[in-house]
Amino acid sequence: MQTTWVRDLHHGDDSVTARSTTPSGKVTFPCQKPSTAVEELSIKKPQPTSSNFQTGSDRSDKSWNAGTQLTKRASSPQASPVPKSKPSSGPSRPSVSAPQGPPSLPSLPPSLHLFNAPGSRTLLPAFHTLMCLLLRLFLSFILLFLPCEEERLGASKKKSSTHDGQCHKDGPISNGTLARRPTLICPERLRDFGAEEYLNGDVKTFETTVVGGPEVQLLAPPKPSIKRNKEYKSAPKAPVEYLRFEDISAASLKIQQAGIQKTPCTYSRLSKLYGMEIYLKKEHLHYTGSVKERGVLYLLSSLKQDQQKKGVIVATDCNFSMAVAYHAVELRIPVFVIMPAYSSSPRLRMYRDYGAMVISYGSTARDSQNHARHLAKENGYLCLEEDDSAVYLAGLGTVGIEIHEQVPKLDAVIVPAGGQCGVLAGTAAAIKHLNPRISVIGVEPEEFPLLLQSLKTDSPIKDLYSTPNKKLYGDLVQHTLGTHTFQLAKKMVDKVISVREEDSLVAMLRFQEYEHTTVDTEGAMGLAAILAGQLPELKGKRVAVLVGSANMELDLVRQCVDRALVLDDRVSRFTVQLGDWPGDMAKLLDMLAREDVRLLDVCHSRYSDKADLFKAQVECVVETRDKTQNCQLRRTLADRYPTLRWLDR
């Protein structure tokens, strides 16, 4: 066997391959130069059929074996020695003896046969060459066609699929490359392309807004459903869908677990006075003295943990702010209260006793609110304001469930309707679900009939041009009415009435005399409607009156009581002219003593411009037991003193 070693320069290295031929026409597969043994593959040599094949083989031999070729003669270390033979000069192949080494491996498939043209000195893999040429042509075609296709696709997408509008968070929306952004936006990503809408409490909401041109196509051309969606959002939601009884029940369970206890709803001694069974739901017995603790506690409990860690901020001196200050500290939520500079010292001390951080800022309530919003924006606080969110209304509606449980066979419920009307709306939603036959009546001050005027115009009034006594009414005279509370009140409240200031003050006096408790005007609003005689249809029926608040400063309580005594004909003031002689003043005082009248104040003036010559002007303030005694005193004084004049109340 003759072995030829060939240096192949085509593969870029100095690899050496071996070719072996035998006299029987068998050829071994080229392999790496063996170190200890030779592995041979016996392949049957095909016979050339034409001169054209020989010429093509020569060309292949020139293309694949260009460069220098080193040949030498060697023998396998395991084969028997063979006699050396001289290479022939002709095209015929040298004959060598058959190998005596180990048996040859099985032959390769025909597709891997190596052909050799007569007279050529190297073997050429024709099939391998053909496959390489085809592969090169295919790669060239791909490289030429791909840039053109990418430019065409990029130009078309730039014209049709780029969003023209501005996005609030992520910038313009563009499909771009298919591998980077899919054509369908996942629902989880919709909030990133929406405008953030402010939310109170448990929870922030988002409203999806389309800000681009009509040419944007994500999956299909835009449909008119987007326009219908906008029209639906502009209209108020249905009350039943907005506040469900299931939400109120869940709120009732949660606030009881958090520490809110059921307040008593007891029979009142005022029932005999007004001819009906009156049950007082004493919501003023809460820690902060207001029913709004229910909604505030449920609202704070519904906040996310990250927002609870950041804290909340309020900027109004009202029952809502006091409830936020107390329950936020109980829930370990940082709370800040912004108060105007004119706030009273007892109120500031009360907020600090709750554990809140109190900041005095501004000369008006509006200045404090603006400063609170500024601090909330800079520090990430949640600025809480009393509104008509579903979470807050659900918490307030829990009082309706308790009234229905505590008073069986109830005929009517009287609820104050001032401010945002959240207590009225939430209570009505719960009562009407449990028993639609129970009448729900709302009461608001006559000086600020916000809900009553809104029902007349069939739309919520945002600002009622009125100047009520804010120091007296407090939370009842807020200048906004929520859309959701208006819709709930319109559907579920049977009657809304307004009461005068005089009736509210007298109702506060009745609470002190008969119930031995002090309430403010909001707490006395329900009883004021009864004593004013505006609910004659409730005579002989069982009525529950919600006493919602008892937060009033001491000096204001004293003024209200004094004014209520005058309005109730219990305190009277009159003037009379007496002669400037000894004993005339004693005669007047003796008459008042005989009538069993208590003298509160007396003023004797000789130099009054209204007194005659040698006369003195005397002004007296007296207190009687009731209206009957007051009338008797008037008749007695009129008979004795012709110059008697009763002063206006």
Measured between alpha carbons, how far is 640 from 59 in angstroms, rounded to an integer?
Answer: 153
The two counts, helices (H) then strands (E), for the chain are 22, 21
- In this chain, the answer to whether the domains covering 293-385 and 569-646 adopt an identical fold is no
* CA distances, 638 to each of 132, 222, 529 (Å): 134, 88, 35
Please give the share of the chain, as a percent, with pLDDT higher than 90: 46
Does 265 score more than 80 pLDDT?
yes
To the nearest 10 degrees (0 to 180), the angle between helices 422-434 and 398-406 is: 50
For the four alpha carbons of 560, 562, 563 and 565, in that order, the dihedral sign comes to positive
Q: Tell how strand 16-21 and strand 2-7 pair up.
A: antiparallel
DSSP 112: G
> Which class is domain 240-244+395-563?
alpha beta
- Delimit the domains of the chain by residue range: 1-124, 162-235, 240-244+395-563, 293-385, 569-646
Domain 569-646 sits in CATH 3.30.70.260: yes
Take residue 179 and report the two structure tokens written for it: 């591998």
- Between 458 and 55, the more confident residue is 458
The top-scoring range by mean pLDDT among 158-172, 425-439, 449-463 is 425-439
Q: Which CATH architecture has domain 293-385?
A: 3-Layer(aba) Sandwich (3.40)
Mean pLDDT of 377-405: 93
Task: Output the pLDDT for position 477.
Answer: 72
**Which pLDDT tens digit goes with each residue over 580-607?**
788 889 999 999 999 999 999 999 887 7
For residues 276-300, give the mean pLDDT: 95
Cβ atoms within 10 A of the Cβ of 503, count?
25
Q: What is the pLDDT, as a whole number, of residue 146?
A: 67
DSSP codes, 266-289: EE-THHHHHTSEEEEEEGGGSTTS
Q: Which residue has the higher pLDDT, 150 or 585?
A: 585
pLDDT (mean) for 300-307:
94
113-122 burial by CB neighbour count: b if 16+ within 10 A, else e? bbbbbeebeb
Q: What is the mean pLDDT of residues 326-331?
A: 95
Q: Is the pLDDT of residue 52 over 80?
A: no
Confidence band for 541, pLDDT divided at 50, 70 and 90: very high
What is residue 228's predicted lDDT score, i.e. its pLDDT?
A: 39
Q: Measuring CA to CA, which residue among 305, 294, 203 is closest to residue 256?
A: 294
What pLDDT is stored for residue 132 in this prediction?
A: 84
Residue 171: pLDDT band by 50, 70, 90 thresholds?
A: very low
8 A C-beta contact, residue 600 and residue 564: no
